[in-house]
Amino acid sequence: MKLPRRALRTAMILIAAIAVLMGVIVALAPTFEDYALRGRSNCGGNSAALHDVQTYSLIVRTAAAESPDRRFAIETATAEQREWLSQIVDDPWVRPARFLVSPRPYQDRPPGPRKVLIICDTPYRNVPRRILGTASPTHAAAFSDGSVGLISIAEFEALDHASLVLLDELLAASTREGEGKGSSPRRALRD
């Protein structure tokens, strides 16, 4: 049986298209397997860091709103607030990252210039989530205006690191001060 030329050409194009499609499927199979079949999560990294900085922002803003003088300082935090803050410090999803915070008391007032409340010192690439490739490295941060987001490495480097301290050290120092063993946390220094 002899096929007409047009049918032969159509069959060849169809075979080539199927071959290309199979190549794409084979190339994407590991990605599909990771994300769909294994249920690979996007936990940790900036997902967790964003959660932690948002939690810090909520603790600080809520405590200031409930305070008679509309201010919050870690040194005056309640035992419950200290426990919440220590959960941020001890978050296993972002180890060995640490959080830098402004040591100045937060004051609940109409928004002024946007300032950093807390920022993760380690950049991660998992947010936004991509099927192919990875996102640019970014740092999770919360700001005095209540916003939370990711900033680039260049924006992180441009921050005044001398005005920030490590949350874990500030929390430990304020606990020691409450016990009469005061020492001040060191300023966050960048290499």
Distance CA 63, CA 82 (A): 12
Domain check: are 6 and 83 in the same one?
A: no
Domain check: are 22 and 67 in the same one?
A: no
Could you tell me which residue, 79 or 190, shows the higher pLDDT?
79
DSSP sequence for 85-134: HHHHHT-GGGTT--EEE--SPEE--S--S--EEEEESS-BS-SS--SSS-
Bridge partner list, 148: 142
Average pLDDT over residues 150-165: 93
DSSP sequence for 109-121: -S--S--EEEEES
Could you tell me which residue, 180 or 151, shows the higher pLDDT?
151
Assess whether pLDDT exceeds 50 at residue 181.
no
Domain check: are 49 and 142 in the same one?
A: yes
Domain check: are 59 and 20 in the same one?
A: no
Assess whether pLDDT exceeds 90 at residue 156.
yes
Domain check: are 79 and 9 in the same one?
A: no
Domain check: are 16 and 100 in the same one?
A: no
Residue 186 lies in a domain: no
H or E stretch at 141? strand 138-143
Mean pLDDT across the chain:
81
H or E stretch at 13? helix 5-32
Residue 191 lies in a domain: no
pTM of the model: 0.70
Distance CA 15, CA 156 (A): 52
pLDDT of 191 reads 38
H or E stretch at 16? helix 5-32
pLDDT of 178 reads 56
Residue 190 lies in a domain: no
Kindly report, residue by residue over 22-80, the tens digit of the pLDDT: 877 766 655 554 544 444 456 678 889 999 999 999 999 999 999 999 999 988 888 89
pLDDT of 36 reads 47
Q: How many distinct structural domains can be found in the chain?
A: 2
Kindly report, residue by residue over 8-29, the tens digit of the pLDDT: 788 888 888 888 888 777 666 5
pLDDT of 52 reads 95
Domain ranges, residue 20: 1-40
Assess whether pLDDT exceeds 50 at residue 161.
yes
Residue 183 lies in a domain: no
pLDDT band at 134 (very low <50, low <70, confident <90, very high): confident
C-alpha separations of 70 from 105, 112, 178 in Å: 10, 15, 21
- Letter for the amino acid at 143? F
Give the residue among 90, 140, 123 at the shortest CA–CA distance from 190: 123
- Letter for the amino acid at 122? T
**DSSP letter, residue 187:** B
Phi, psi of 109 (to 5 degrees): -150, 170
Domain check: are 33 and 49 in the same one?
A: no
pLDDT of 141 reads 96
pLDDT of 46 reads 84
